[in-house]
Chains A and B, each alone.
Chain A
Amino acid sequence: MFTERKKLIIAFLIPSSALYLIFFLVPALQSLFYSLFEWRGFGADKEFIGLRNFQHLLDLRATFDGQFPFLHLNPRDAVFWVSMKTTLTFLLLGGVLTFTLAFLFTAMLSSGIRGKKFFRLIIFAPNVVAAVALATLWGFIYNPRFGMLRGFFEILGLEEIAKTPWMGPGKIVFAVLIAMCWIWIGFYLVLLLAGVDQIPKEMFDAAKVDGANVFQLFTKVTIPLIWDVLSIAIIHFGIGALKVFEFPYVICGRLPPREIWTLGIYTYVMGFGKRDPIYRLGYSSAIGVIMQLLVIVLILVFARVFRREAVEY
């Protein structure tokens, strides 16, 4: 016999659990399964090929010889490795940039300056606007013919710099990264600032009396006391950076150059294509599985780095 409480628990859990299972968990597992097949199109037959999709993706065809730079890479799927490089650039360089500036802003805004809430409001604002809208803006800022950046350098009289094709080869990854950091910084500022606001003021005062300088205050007081918030922020950032899709996909106003394809974009292109469907469904699933593995590795690494007793206060 079910008690009234048990009935309620079951009735309250079933709808969301069922939907989540059918439209989220099972598809995720299915992708893992599909990644072991050669499968060209939803109507076509699947052919089991084991790990060959992964072999093809991951094969760097590295050769060593006596000539500089000794290690030569000739990956079988060069586009995959370009996407991997871009994704990791967004993750690592983007992470360093975002957290450095987010910390800097946090320090400035929590130093007792006026208008803290106003600055927080404005700096966070890009996070509520559609990536498509922001990418349109940045596409114009970087536009080589009549963009704002060009106009800005022309006003300064720097004609040569003004003519720089900001979205050209070798630059576009960083152009996109800077634009995304402009969005990200506001988000992590809000998180870190909330952590710092929770620290009792006496902690800082006590450290100051003991003669701590600004740098020591930061490393010995602030960081340990916001450790929990910081770990959540970094893992949240990592997962977000590994699945970046919309901003680089949209910024060019047409299919972007491969240089800024991310793993997410490559998964989409391989599965669905753009104007011409590609429909390499098994292969696309394998890229998705690699994204999932990267997320898991990231979480394990950070769980290890951040594993330590929380400071109670």
Chain B
Amino acid sequence: MSKETIRVRRKRGRIGNRLRRVPLYVLPVLWSLFTIFCVLWIILTSLKTNRELFSNVWSLPTSIQYQNYVKAWTVSKLGLEFRNSVVLVFASVLLILVLCAPAAYVLSRMKFKGGGLLTGIFIAGAGIPLPLLFIPLFGLTAKLHINNTLPGLIIIYTTVSIPFTMYLLTGFFRTLPTELEEAARLDGCSEFGVFRRVMLPLASPGLITAAIFNFIALWNEYMLALVFLNDPNKMPISRGLYGIAESMQYTGDWVGLFAGVVIVMVPTIIIYVLLSERLIEGITMGALK
């Protein structure tokens, strides 16, 4: 056999290998195409007129209808609700980190009686279905006169985020090396100084992951906002969008509704595209040891 034929055969083998792999691509490609198509379709539809949409759901917009967005932002009040959501979510995420980071640090890095149990109790909260809390929490917030207010919902958002955040952060703190901590103690750093100057900076990737997670979850949150808010001027954006969907039966304004969908989707999708590796790491961090 000449060198030439061997080379040809090897090449054929490689191509054969590739061809055999083609079926493996079919399902992931179709699935991804469907998802990408849905996003593009929503964006294009939000730029059409209702008449164009009803005559053909697949057509491209003949002229770009920016006013769908203007209407959703002003007439449907999504602008106000967007700002409410920004306040709600930023305040909640900040509070979650301020409360959970020190606790997770202590629980995962220091040995003391009951520490393991307390960690367990924090994480076990993930197994409590939130509808169980509706009525007692409603009564409690009413008693404290924080019902139907943004601060009230911020407190509720913060507490319901504790189990997952503790799970994530205790897991993260545990992976950090001990050398720096010990070196800082030898250098005479106070206990608080060790946390503030050494461990907190080391933990910042974990804190960022926790922040992204909670930001996305709370930006998208609907159920608790439905139960605990009633004032139309305090609604977060998810309830604003549902409000547009609800009034659809009277207005028939589908394109306006999809403009609203885009406004709701954009912040989390931008974060996802920029930080998806972090987010995916965060999901798998606890499950893998």
Residues of chain A touching chain B, judged by Cβ–Cβ distance below 8 Å, are 4-9, 11-13, 15-17, 19-20, 22-28, 30-31, 34, 42, 104-105, 108-109, 111-113, 118-126, 128-133, 136-137, 139-140, 146-148, 151, 182, 187, 190-191, 194-195, 198, 228-229, 232-233, 239, 242-243, 245-246, 249-250, 253-254, 263-264, 267-268, 271-272, 281, 284-285, 287-289, 291-292, 295-296, 299
Q: B145 in the interface, Cβ–Cβ < 8 Å?
A: no
Q: B87 in the interface, Cβ–Cβ < 8 Å?
A: no
Q: B280 in the interface, Cβ–Cβ < 8 Å?
A: yes
- A229: chain B residues at CB < 8 Å are 287-288
Query: Which 5 residue pairs are nearest across A and B when measured between Cβ atoms?
Result: A27-B136, A288-B132, A194-B284, A130-B220, A12-B102
CA distance A22 to B159 in the complex (A): 9
CB distance from B156 to the nearest CB of A (A): 7
CB distance from A109 to the nearest CB of B (A): 7
CA distance A93 to B67 in the complex (A): 43
CB distance from A228 to the nearest CB of B (A): 7
Query: Would you call A129 and B57 a contact (CB within 8 A)?
Result: no
- What is the 8 Å Cβ interface bit string for chain B, positions 153-180, against chain A (1 contact, 0 not)? 0011011101000100000000000000
CA distance A136 to B237 in the complex (A): 14
A254 touches which of B139, B222, B239, B246 (Cβ 8 Å)? B246
CB distance from B136 to the nearest CB of A (A): 4
CA distance A9 to B178 in the complex (A): 18
Within 8 A of A (CB), among B88-138: 99-100, 102-103, 105-107, 110, 112, 118, 121-122, 125-138
Known contacts being A9-B106, A20-B162, is A194 close to B54, with CB within 8 Å? no
B288 touches which of A19, A129, A195 (Cβ 8 Å)? A195
Query: Would you call B136 and A253 a contact (CB within 8 A)?
Result: no
CA distance A17 to B99 in the complex (A): 9
Query: Would you call A9 and B112 a contact (CB within 8 A)?
Result: yes
By CB atoms of chain A within 10 A, which of B135, B155, B261 has the most? Answer: B135
Known contacts being A31-B132, A151-B58, A239-B127, is A194 close to B287, with CB within 8 Å? yes
Interface-located stretch among B3-11, B20-28, B69-77, B202-210:
B20-28
Known contacts being A42-B138, A264-B131, is A191 close to B35, with CB within 8 Å? no
Query: Would you call B125 and A228 a contact (CB within 8 A)?
Result: no
CB distance from A176 to the nearest CB of B (A): 15
- B105: chain A residues at CB < 8 Å are 12
CB distance from B193 to the nearest CB of A (A): 10
Query: Would you call B133 and A27 a contact (CB within 8 A)?
Result: yes
Query: Would you call B261 and A284 a contact (CB within 8 A)?
Result: no
- B261: chain A residues at CB < 8 Å are 133, 136-137
Query: Would you call A272 and B227 a contact (CB within 8 A)?
Result: yes
Query: Would you call A239 and B132 a contact (CB within 8 A)?
Result: no
Q: B276 in the interface, Cβ–Cβ < 8 Å?
A: yes
CB distance from A9 to the nearest CB of B (A): 5
Known contacts being A31-B132, A198-B288, is A12 close to B27, with CB within 8 Å? no
CB distance from B112 to the nearest CB of A (A): 6
Given contacts A42-B138, A194-B280, A289-B132, 4 further A-B contacts (CB under 8 A): A105-B31, A133-B265, A191-B283, A267-B134
Closest residue on chain B to residue A188 by CB atoms: B283
Query: Would you call B28 and A291 a contact (CB within 8 A)?
Result: no
CB distance from A256 to the nearest CB of B (A): 12
Known contacts being A8-B106, A13-B103, is A133 close to B137, with CB within 8 Å? no
Closest residue on chain A to residue B242 by CB atoms: A132
CA distance A139 to B31 in the complex (A): 19
Query: Would you call B191 and A228 a contact (CB within 8 A)?
Result: no
A4 touches which of B58, B191, B288 (Cβ 8 Å)? B191
Q: B64 in the interface, Cβ–Cβ < 8 Å?
A: no
Query: Would you call B129 and A113 a contact (CB within 8 A)?
Result: no
Query: Would you call A190 and B280 a contact (CB within 8 A)?
Result: yes
A8 touches which of B134, B140, B192 (Cβ 8 Å)? B192
- A253: chain B residues at CB < 8 Å are 245-246, 248-249
Query: Would you call B137 and A272 a contact (CB within 8 A)?
Result: no
CA distance A239 to B136 in the complex (A): 21
Q: B62 in the interface, Cβ–Cβ < 8 Å?
A: no
B254 touches which of A13, A42, A140, A287 (Cβ 8 Å)? A140
Query: Would you call B134 and A284 a contact (CB within 8 A)?
Result: yes
Query: Would you call A128 and B103 a contact (CB within 8 A)?
Result: no
Closest residue on chain A to residue B17 by CB atoms: A112
- Pull 22 A–B residue pairs with CB atoms less than 8 Å apart, ordered by A: A11-B102, A17-B118, A20-B122, A23-B140, A24-B159, A108-B28, A109-B28, A125-B269, A128-B269, A131-B220, A136-B245, A148-B41, A187-B283, A195-B287, A195-B288, A198-B288, A249-B223, A271-B138, A284-B135, A287-B131, A295-B128, A295-B129
CA distance A4 to B58 in the complex (A): 68
Within 8 A of A (CB), among B207-254: 216, 219-220, 222-223, 226-227, 237-239, 241-242, 245-246, 248-249, 254
CA distance A239 to B127 in the complex (A): 7
